[in-house]
Amino acid sequence: MAWHLERFGITGELVSLDVSNRSTAIARERAASAGIGNTEFRVGAIEDLPIDGSGMFDYIDCSGILNHVVDPVAALARLARVLVPGGGMGVMAYGALGRTGVYPAQEALRLLAKAEPVTADLARLFVEGLPDENWLRKNAAFAGVANTDDVELADILLNPRDRAFSVRDLVTLFAGQGLAIRTFLPPVMYDPVPVLREPTLRERANNLSQVERWCLAELMQGTLNKHVFYAVKKNAESGEIMSLLDDPETLMIPHGMNPSALAQAVLDAGREDQPVGIQFMVDGRQRSMAVSFSVAELAIMRLIEGPTAVRTIVERLGDKIDPPIVHDALRRVVTVFEKVAGLHLMRLG
C-alpha cells in the first residue's frame, strides 16, 4: 500500500502496527530496501488501540491477523472504532472449509510433541507419513505441504493460535462492529451461478441474497482457504464503480493481467466473436473465466496497458465510437476484470 501511495504521489500518513518487534523490524527493512519512506512503524497490539480513537484512519489493511488474535471480536471492535465512517478495510482471514484437515493435523502434532514445542522437522515427518485418505493430504490447497519450506510449513501447522472462518462467520463478525462486507475477492470465486450448470439450480441461486450466494459459493468451491475481502464502515457514502467511472480522472489499474495484450491476441487471431479465457490466480493456482467481448470493449482493452485514466479512453475513442457505446463498453470491461480482481479503480485527490 505504501508503495502504491508513493507511486501515485498521494500524500498521507501511513502507520504499520504489529505486536512483534521482529515482524516490525522485517517490515521496516523491507520498506527501506524498496525505497519506501512514507510509513511510521509502531510496535503494539490492536487490542491497545484507543477506544475513543474514532476516525484515526481512512483505510485499514488487516491481512492474516484476525486468525491469530486471542479474541477476534474484541480486536475487530478496536479496529472498527479507529476507522473513519465510510472508511474501508482490506482483510485476509483463513477460510475454514478450505483448511479442511489442517486443524486435526495441528492437534495430532500437539499430541505427538507432548509438552515440547512442535518443530518443523516433526511436522514434516508427520505429514510425509500421513495416509493418502487423510483430509490434509487430500486437500488440493495443501497438496505440496510435505515439500514446502519451513516458513510455509510453520504457517500451516505450527502457529500456536490459529483459527479459520466461514463466509457467514465473517459477515456476522463484521456486521457486529458496524462493518459491511462489500465484496470477496476475486468475486468470480464467490459467485455460485457460473459453477451451477443446471438451469433450475442456477435460478435458485440467482434468487438468493448476496450473503447467501457468497455462502453457497464457499460451500460449493470447498477449497477457499483464505478469504480476501473488502469492508466499509457503515452510514457513509461509498465509492461505487459507476460514480468512479463517471470521473474522467479515475485511473484503471490492471492487477496481474494485461487487458491490452489479451485484446490484441483476440484481434490478431480474428476471434472477436468467440469467448476468450481470462486467466487469474487463486491461492497460487491458475483459474480461467471465459468471456466474449464486443469490438468496442476490445478497443478499450487495447488502451489499458498499465494505469489508464478514464479520460484517455474517452479522448482516444470518442471520435471513432459513439460516446454512449464507449460509456457502456467501459463499464462492462471494468465489471468483467473486477470479477477476477484483475483491475482496480483509483481516484486521485
Rule CB under 6 A: which residues touch ligand SAM?
Answer: 17-20, 23, 45-47, 63-65, 68-69, 75
Burial zone of 198 (CB within 10 Å; 0-12 exposed, 13-18 middle, 19+ buried): exposed
Nearest residue (CB) to ligand SAM, 81 versus 213? 81
Least distance (Å) between residue 171 CB and ligand SAM:
22
Least distance (Å) between residue 17 CB and ligand SAM:
6
Least distance (Å) between residue 217 CB and ligand SAM:
24
Least distance (Å) between residue 45 CB and ligand SAM:
4
Least distance (Å) between residue 177 CB and ligand SAM:
16
Cα–Cα distance for residue pair 216/213, rounded to 1 Å = 5
What's the helix, strand, coil split of the chain in %, to 5? 45, 20, 35
Q: Which residue has the cell 485418505?
A: 133
For 16, other C-beta atoms within 10 Å of its C-beta total 17
Grid cell in block for residue 176: 457486529
Cα–Cα distance for residue pair 239/53, rounded to 1 Å = 24
Give the Cα-Cα-Cα angle 35, 36, 41 (nearest 5 degrees): 130
Nearest residue (CB) to ligand SAM, 49 versus 253? 49
Nearest residue (CB) to ligand SAM, 18 versus 191? 18
Burial zone of 67 (CB within 10 Å; 0-12 exposed, 13-18 middle, 19+ buried): buried
Nearest residue (CB) to ligand SAM, 71 versus 116? 71
Least distance (Å) between residue 157 CB and ligand SAM:
14
State the angle between helix axes of 259-268 and 295-302 in degrees (0 to 180), rounded to the nearest 10. 130
3-class secondary-structure state, position 254? strand
Who's near 250: CB < 8 A, 6+ residues apart?
Answer: 244, 309, 310, 345, 346, 347
Nearest residue (CB) to ligand SAM, 159 versus 206? 159
Nearest residue (CB) to ligand SAM, 135 versus 230? 230
Least distance (Å) between residue 63 CB and ligand SAM:
4
Strand partners, 63: 92
Who's near 241: CB < 8 A, 6+ residues apart?
Answer: 331, 334, 335, 338, 345
Least distance (Å) between residue 47 CB and ligand SAM:
6
Nearest residue (CB) to ligand SAM, 105 versus 156? 156
Nearest residue (CB) to ligand SAM, 60 versus 301? 60
